């Protein structure tokens, strides 16, 4: 009888410790994920602005973040952008693409009326950037150019979108 | 170099060094992650033995290691979101590599201090190699040097002559594989030469 009680206590202690650790980890991760949500959006917005400013200086204003409702959301982010001169709206996407140089964050522009356009690679300058060039000869970039319309179709438009909504 | 260390080298290199972009900043992040995971894993293992939870060792240790990797990713999102986006799945490769798991599950139970010093020695030794490897590929392959600063990533272009150099190959994944193979061959060659010298000395002695 005592043996059964001891063994039950031991098992209870073991499973209690396991459950405690798992619940603790889950709570910690939830807190960090909630804290980092805005940082993810703002950080990637800054990177897109930087790439657009380098490739087409003074032409674009980066606007609101658009939620992508697809698994690709983990490796990409979508923003609305507007031309400074005529107010034309487009989508700017930063997408992790697998290249021969490893994963790189590529920036694309897209609107419904034309095909996606490769703009540049965030945080990459020098000779490898020159080799990649405008991306026309790169199979991976061409693959993403074809996929981007599907990603944008899955993106959730904000309820109000206009010049005033631009940040 | 014995067979085990060759396998450890191959496993760690294929998991950490080869699939990652050959930038020094990526190397710094992966090395920090590897050492953090090694430290957390060693503490958790000690905790498991202290509370006699050996029956759940595998589940607990793997859960904590995967959760720690997710924590590292979220810290990156908080500090350098671009790196979190770029590295993506590469951050999970050290966690599931046999380098980390081998040291976590393979060794016998030692006192905590001794286990930490032992595990961290292997981890730091490999970290130095990985950092030199990433630095070499960044300078020679990409022609840049990238560093972590308080404002994010600092990139300095070193070679930007406009001519496309054949050295760009070293910045690619096949280039990384070739480099790691050459290092392994050279290492084995040098170790074998030392063994021959030792044998000659023993015979003469």
Question: Which tokens sit at A41?
Answer: 């959006």
Taking CB atoms and an 8 Å cut-off, how many pairs form between chains A and B? 125
Question: Which tokens sit at A83?
Answer: 């031309």
SS3 of residue A88 by DSSP: coil
Give per-residue pLDDT as tens, A87-103: 889 999 999 999 999 99
Question: Which tokens sit at B53?
Answer: 């939870």
Give me the pLDDT at residue B50, please: 82
- Cβ-Cβ contacts under 8 Å, A21 against chain B: 60, 63-64
Higher pLDDT, A142 or B188: A142
Higher pLDDT, B6 or A152: A152
Nearest to A104 by CA among B60, B170, B82, B24: B82
A32 to B56: CB separation less than 8 angstroms, yes or no: no
- Of A151-160, B15-24, B49-58, B153-162, give the lowest mean pLDDT range: A151-160
A47 to B144: CB separation less than 8 angstroms, yes or no: no
- Going from N- to C-terminal start, the domains of chain B cover 3-204
d(CA B69, CA A60): 36
DSSP code, position A115: -
Give me the pLDDT at residue B157, please: 92
In this predicted structure, the answer to whether residue B25 has a pLDDT above a threshold of 50 is yes
Higher pLDDT, B16 or B77: B77
0.90 exceeded by pTM: no
Torsion of CA B15, B16, B17, B19, to 10 degrees: 60
- Cβ-Cβ contacts under 8 Å, B153 against chain A: 123
DSSP code, position A157: P
- Cβ-Cβ contacts under 8 Å, A12 against chain B: none
Please check whether residue A27 is in contact with residue A19, taking contact to mean a CB–CB distance below 8 angstroms: no
Give per-residue pLDDT as tens, A29-47: 899 888 888 899 999 999 9
A128 to B59: CB separation less than 8 angstroms, yes or no: no
Q: How many CB atoms lie within 10 A of CB A67?
A: 13
Q: Name the residue among A18, A122, A130 with its Cβ closest to that of B164.
A: A130
**Residue of chain A nearest B140, judged by CA positions:** A127
pLDDT band of residue B46 (cuts 50, 70, 90) is confident
**Residue of chain A nearest B163, judged by CA positions:** A127
Beta strands in chain B (DSSP E): 144-149, 152-157
In this predicted structure, the answer to whether residue B4 has a pLDDT above a threshold of 70 is no
A44 to B153: CB separation less than 8 angstroms, yes or no: no
Helix (H), strand (E) at residue A3? helix A2-55
Q: Name the residue among A17, A22, A104 with its Cβ closest to that of B86.
A: A104
Give me the pLDDT at residue B152, please: 83
pLDDT band of residue A167 (cuts 50, 70, 90) is very low
Give per-residue pLDDT as tens, A126-159: 889 988 888 888 899 999 999 999 888 877 665 4
* Residues near B145 by beta carbon (within 8 Å), at least 6 away in sequence: B24, B135, B138, B139, B155, B156, B158
SS3 of residue B158 by DSSP: coil
């Amino acid at each position: 009888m005592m043996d059964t009680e001891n063994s039950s206590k031991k098992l209870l202690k073991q499973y209690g410790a396991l459950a405690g650790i798992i619940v603790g980890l889950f709570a910690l991760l939830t807190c960090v994920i909630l804290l980092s949500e805005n940082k993810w959006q703002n950080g990637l917005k800054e990177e897109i602005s930087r790439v657009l400013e380098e490739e087409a200086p003074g032409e674009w204003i980066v606007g609101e973040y658009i939620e992508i409702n697809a698994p690709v959301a983990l490796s990409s982010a979508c923003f609305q952008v507007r031309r400074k001169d005529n107010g034309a709206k487009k989508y700017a996407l930063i997408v992790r693409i697998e290249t021969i140089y490893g994963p790189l964050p590529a920036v694309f522009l897209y609107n419904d009326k034309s095909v996606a356009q490769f703009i540049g690679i965030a945080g990459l300058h020098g000779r490898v950037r020159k080799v990649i060039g405008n991306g026309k000869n790169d199979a991976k970039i061409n693959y993403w150019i074809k996929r981007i319309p599907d990603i944008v179709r899955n993106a959730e438009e904000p309820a109000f979108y206009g010049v005033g909504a631009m940040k | 170099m014995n067979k085990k260390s060759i396998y450890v080298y191959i496993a760690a290199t294929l998991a950490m060094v080869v699939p990652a972009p050959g930038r020094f900043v990526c190397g710094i992040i992966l090395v920090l992650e590897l050492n953090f995971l090694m430290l957390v894993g060693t503490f958790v293992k000690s905790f498991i033995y202290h509370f006699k939870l050996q029956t759940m060792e595998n589940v607990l240790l793997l859960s904590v290691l995967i959760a720690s990797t997710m924590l590292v990713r979220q810290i990156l999102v908080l500090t350098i979101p671009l790196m979190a986006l770029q590295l993506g799945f590469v951050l999970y490769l050290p966690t599931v590599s046999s380098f980390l798991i081998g040291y976590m599950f393979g060794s016998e139970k030692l006192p905590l201090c001794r286990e930490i010093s032992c595990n961290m020695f292997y981890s730091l030794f490999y970290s130095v190699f990985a950092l030199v490897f990433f630095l070499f590929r960044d300078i020679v392959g990409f022609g840049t040097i990238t560093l972590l600063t308080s404002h994010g990533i600092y990139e300095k272009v070193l070679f930007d002559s406009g001519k496309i150099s054949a050295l760009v190959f070293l910045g690619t994944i096949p280039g990384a594989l070739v480099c790691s193979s050459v290092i392994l061959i050279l290492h084995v060659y040098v170790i074998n030469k030392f063994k021959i010298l030792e044998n000659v000395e023993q015979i003469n002695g």
